[in-house]
Amino acid sequence: MKQSSEKAFLQAARSLGIRVVSGEPLAKHTSFSIGGPAALYAIPGNVQNMVSCLKNAALCGIDTVILGNGSNVLFADSGFDGLVISTDEVRDCMIDRNRITAGCGFSLQRLCRQAADLSLSGLAFAFGIPARIGGATVMNAGAFGGSLDQVVSSVLCYDKGKDCTVEYRPCDLQYGYRDSIFLHDPSLAVLETTFTLTEGDKTSILNEMNGYMARRTASQPLDYPSAGSVFKRPKDNFAGKLIEESGLKGYRIGSAEVSAKHAGFIINTGNATASDVRDLIRHVRKTVFDKTGVLLECEIRQIGFPEEL
C-alpha cells in the first residue's frame, strides 16, 4: 500500500474517531488461526463509521476486505496489503414483533438464542454456525435443510461503486446454495439484515436447536481450528463422503490435516500455514477428481492470493 494512501486514510479515520491499527495479525481473527498481517485493520463502532471506512478507503485507493467472524476465510501467510474492516462492533439489534434487524457484526448464535427467547421460529437450523450476520448473509449460511434465504426479508447494503445505501429485497439477493449477489459484486457491503420469523413454541425451538448442536458436536472436529466444510456439496453427493472414499481421511501436509472425524473439514493441528492448507486443498481436489470424476468447488474464501482455488 502506498504510504501516502495509508497516511490519508489514517488521518480521515482519526478525525472520525475510528480505531485503526497497522500490521494486525489476521490469524487472531480467523477460526483457522491462520493469516499474516493486515496493512490496516479498522474497527468501526457503528454502521455510519463502517460506511465512512469504505468511502475513505475508496477515495484513498485502498483495497478493502470486510471481516465477520472469520469462520469461512483463509488469509495468505503474507497477509492482506490493504484495509481489513472488522464488523465486531457493528452489532445493533432491533426487534419489531416477528421481525429482527441485526447489524452485520451481531453474532448469529446470539440471534438464534434471542429468537428462541421470543418464541420465534425459523432460525434453529443456524444454531452452531459460527458467524456474524454480515458473513452469514453473504454466504447464505445453512445446515440441516435450512438456509438464511428462508428467513431474510431485506438487507441494507452500502454500494461502494454508487456511493449510496440501498435496501435489497429477497428477489434482489440472487440467493442459491452458499451463494448470493455479495459473492459476485465486491462493491456491496452488508450493513444490516432483517429476518422475518414465525411464532412458535419456545420449548420445541430450544429442543430443535440443542438437537442440531449435539449433532455438530458428535460429527465435527470442533476442538481444532478450521473453517468448517472446505468444499461445497457437489450435486447429489457429499464432499466429505467423496474425500473419505478417496482414502484421504487424516491425510496431512505440514500441520494441515483432512479431519479424521469429518473428511469435509481441514483442520489446523498446530502451526499450519495458508500454503499448507492450499497445498492440501489442491491434493484433495486432484485425488478426488482422479478417483471419482467429481471436481470439488471450494466454499472457503481465499484472500490475499493471486487467485482462489
Ligand X SMILES: Cc1cc2nc3c(=O)[nH]c(=O)nc-3n(C[C@H](O)[C@H](O)[C@H](O)COP(=O)(O)OP(=O)(O)OC[C@H]3O[C@@H](n4cnc5c(N)ncnc54)[C@H](O)[C@@H]3O)c2cc1C
Residue numbers at the binding site for ligand X (CB under 6 A):
31, 65-73, 87, 104, 129-132, 134-136, 138-139, 141-143, 182, 189-190, 220, 222, 226-228, 301
CB closest to ligand X, residue no: 135
The residue (of 145 and 293) whose beta carbon lies closer to ligand X is: 145
Which residue stretches of 133-201 are H helix? Answer: 133-139
User: Is 308 assigned a catalytic role?
Assistant: no
- SS3 of 85, please? strand
Which is the catalytic residue, given 6, 24, 257, 299?
299
The residue (of 232 and 249) whose beta carbon lies closer to ligand X is: 232
Cell numbers describing residue 238 = 457429499
Edge to edge, what strands does the sheet with 265-268 contain? 226-229, 265-268, 256-258, 252-253
User: Is 180 assigned a catalytic role?
Assistant: no
Whole-number minimum distance, CB 290 to ligand X, in Å?
A: 27
User: Is 192 assigned a catalytic role?
Assistant: no
Whole-number minimum distance, CB 222 to ligand X, in Å?
A: 6
The residue (of 68 and 200) whose beta carbon lies closer to ligand X is: 68
Whole-number minimum distance, CB 4 to ligand X, in Å?
A: 26
Whole-number minimum distance, CB 7 to ligand X, in Å?
A: 25
**Partner residues linked to 155 by β-bridges:** 168, 193
Which is the catalytic residue, given 33, 107, 178, 257?
178
CA distance 291 to 80: 36
Cell numbers describing residue 210 = 440443542
Which is the catalytic residue, given 180, 229, 246, 259?
229
Cell numbers describing residue 205 = 425451538
Write the DSSP symbol of residue 9: H
Q: How many CB atoms lie within 10 A of CB 193?
A: 26
Whole-number minimum distance, CB 178 to ligand X, in Å?
A: 6
Residues 40/54, Cβ–Cβ less than 8 Å: no
Cell numbers describing residue 75 = 488469509
Residues 39/85, Cβ–Cβ less than 8 Å: no
Q: Looking at the annotation, which residues are catalytic?
A: 178, 229, 299
